[in-house]
């Protein structure tokens, strides 16, 4: 009996150049913040970029990008993404009522993700960034088996508990034949603004070690910085609000490494 994973044909997305997934093994590591800033950083490289919020249970992209309006529809019944900071956006957070919990089973999640891919007027785009929910569940499986993903970026903190879950994410993408472009270490260190002392609150260097273990690129590290959180809360990613800051420069460097992967 053939026990290999059977992967169905992946449906093309007309007018979309490349599809890039941003994933994490667990929640709370800054995946959505990374996805938003990576999208902006790619746009600053002169590319047309979209950002699909596939984190159905925790759709934070509207807040981080300052996009709370409901999307409109074309005459053909396709959804028009909102545009903020030059990025085309779609999220369930723009459609569902504020504060309303999303209590859906797997098939409903899969259907919503498929609709966001196929029924949104994305084109033309050079890159569509997909902010995945944490873990290796239904949304990840639906996306990786039905969409032509060109690569995945995994976000983690240096903590051992986060790094354990990174391994599962890498193995998942390997199983469904999606190349892992690299690992990003978020919240890698905190630099005191008053005394310039660096403190490794969550540890340091774990993501680089994990990348080396699996022979995949280490894309860089983003420091723990209050301005990153403030920018996300105010709907203006730090790559726009403070472009000369250390985190913004880090995101720009990561974006260039991602581009160099292709």
Residue 3 pLDDT: 40
List the domains of the chain with CATH numbers: 16-260 (3.40.50.300)
pLDDT of residue 8: 52
- In this predicted structure, what is the pLDDT of residue 240? 97
pTM of the model: 0.91
**Average pLDDT score, the chain:** 88
Sites in the chain below the pLDDT cut of 70 = 1-10, 97, 99-102, 106
Q: 205 vs 167, 184, 221, CA distance in Å?
A: 15, 10, 9
């Amino acid at each position: 009996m053939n026990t290999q994973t059977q992967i169905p044909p992946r449906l093309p997305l007309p007018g979309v150049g490349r599809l890039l997934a941003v994933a994490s093994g667990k929640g709370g590591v800054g995946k959505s913040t990374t996805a938003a800033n990576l999208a902006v950083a790619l746009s600053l490289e002169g590319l047309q970029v979209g950002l699909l919020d596939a984190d159905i249970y925790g759709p934070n992209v509207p807040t981080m990008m300052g996009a709370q309006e409901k999307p409109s529809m074309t005459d053909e019944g396709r959804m028009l993404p909102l545009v903020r900071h030059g990025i085309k956006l779609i999220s369930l957070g723009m459609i569902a009522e504020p504060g309303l919990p999303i209590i859906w089973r797997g098939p409903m999640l899969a259907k919503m993700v498929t609709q966001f891919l196929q029924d949104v007027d994305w084109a033309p785009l050079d890159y569509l960034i997909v902010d995945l929910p944490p873990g290796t569940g239904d949304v990840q499986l639906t996306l990786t088996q039905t969409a032509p993903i060109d690569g995945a970026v995994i976000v983690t903190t240096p903590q051992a508990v986060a790094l354990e879950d990174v391994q599962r994410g890498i193995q998942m993408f390997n199983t469904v034949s999606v190349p892992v472009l690299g690992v990003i270490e978020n919240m890698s260190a905190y630099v005191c603004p008053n005394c310039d002392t660096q403190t490794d609150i969550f540890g340091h260097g774990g993501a680089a070690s994990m990348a080396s273990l699996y022979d995949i690129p280490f894309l860089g590290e983003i420091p723990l910085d209050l301005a990153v959180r403030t920018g996300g809360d105010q709907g203006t990613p730090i790559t726009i609000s403070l472009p000369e800051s250390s985190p913004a420069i880090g995101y720009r460097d990561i974006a260039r490494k991602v581009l160099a992967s292709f």
